[in-house]
Amino acid sequence: MRSLAAAARRWGAPLVLLAALVGLWEAAVHLLALPHYILPAPSRIARTLVTDLPLLAPHARVTAVEVVVGFAVALVAGLALGFLMFRSAVLGRALEPILVASQTIPVFAVAPLLVLWLGYGLASKVAMAALIVFFPMTVATLDGLRSADPDLVDWFRMAGARPAMVLLAVQVPAALPQVFTGMRIGATVSVIGAVIGEWVGADAGLGYLMARANAQLRVDLVFAALVVLSVFGVALVAAVRALEWALTPWRRARAAS
């Protein structure tokens, strides 16, 4: 019962707010008599989600694969590069400004190039999603590893611990909270990356479907695709949170005692 009450406290307010906003939207569409090809009512979008499910599902599957593979590639690459930059001061100094500078290039500008180089298929979208997730992941890993308490690191060194033990016992656990923050940010932007890739050039996926539906004034289908996309994002963030919960039990210690 306590956990039910806690869940209600946590999710009650956002759910009520969301319901109110959707209700307001529904009312506004009817009161202002807005045509559905400008702004469809939520009820119409819900109907579209059901009736056009056979159309949405295969495109959703394509996008889901792009998002998950892109996220996974960026996760592995970001963890690896962040770690290497941490271990090698020279590499860290050399790469940090370049990495930051690379973030001033808008991803939209790169998308046509990626399609040109990697084609209309999965590869260009995975690259797109990975590119956008890679930077926050690398920075989070590097900053996280650097955040270990220097006194704690010194204690292990004085105690005669080998560097591998200092890394595994002190630096890696100290990095986890920031790594998970990086992963949560990455999980949301990976969806954006995949959809941008699909807009620029694709023959399948929710981004492709949205572009086509938009041209045909099927705005309800555009919104239906958006709903599916946000479900992807939320599901990925929830998965990251679940992993974080399982791997950092000590962060709940104070609450438990």
Partner 1 sequence: MAHAPALAVRGLAKRFGSLPVLAGVDLDVPAGSIVALLGPSGCGKTTLFHLLAGLYAPDAGTIALDGTAAGAALRGLAAYQPQKDLLLPWRTALANAAVGARLAGRSRREAERLAAEALARVGLASFERAYPAALSGGMRQRVALARALLMERGLLLLDEPFAAVDALTRLDLHALLLDLWAERRPTTLVVTHDPEEAALLADRIAVLSARPARVVAELEVDLPRPRRVGDPMLARLEGRLVALVRQARDACATEARRA
Q: Of 240, 231, 224, whose CA–CA distance to 71 is shortest?
A: 240
Using DSSP's 3-state secondary structure scheme, residue 1 falls into coil
**Cα dist from 162 to 88, 111, 149, 159, 165, whole Å:** 17, 45, 17, 9, 5
Which of 152, 211, 237, 239 is the binder for partner 1 (CB under 8 A)? 152
Measured over the CA atoms of residue 242, residue 247, residue 248 and residue 252, the dihedral's sign is positive
Choice between 170 and 204, CB closer to partner 1: 170
248 touches partner 1 (CB under 8 A): yes
241 touches partner 1 (CB under 8 A): no
Which of 36, 47, 157, 241 is the binder for partner 1 (CB under 8 A)? 157
Alpha-carbon 68 to chain mean position? 9
9 touches partner 1 (CB under 8 A): no
159 touches partner 1 (CB under 8 A): yes
164 touches partner 1 (CB under 8 A): no
257 touches partner 1 (CB under 8 A): yes
170 touches partner 1 (CB under 8 A): yes
User: In whole angstroms, how close is the CB of 153 to partner 1 at the nearest point?
Assistant: 10
203 touches partner 1 (CB under 8 A): no
246 touches partner 1 (CB under 8 A): no
Which of 11, 37, 108, 155 is the binder for partner 1 (CB under 8 A)? 155
- Binding segment for partner 1 among 106-114, 122-130, 164-172, 211-219 (CB under 8 A)? 164-172
Q: Where do contacts with partner 1 occur on this chain (CB under 8 A)?
A: 149, 151-152, 154-155, 157-161, 165, 169-170, 173, 176, 248-250, 253-254, 256-257
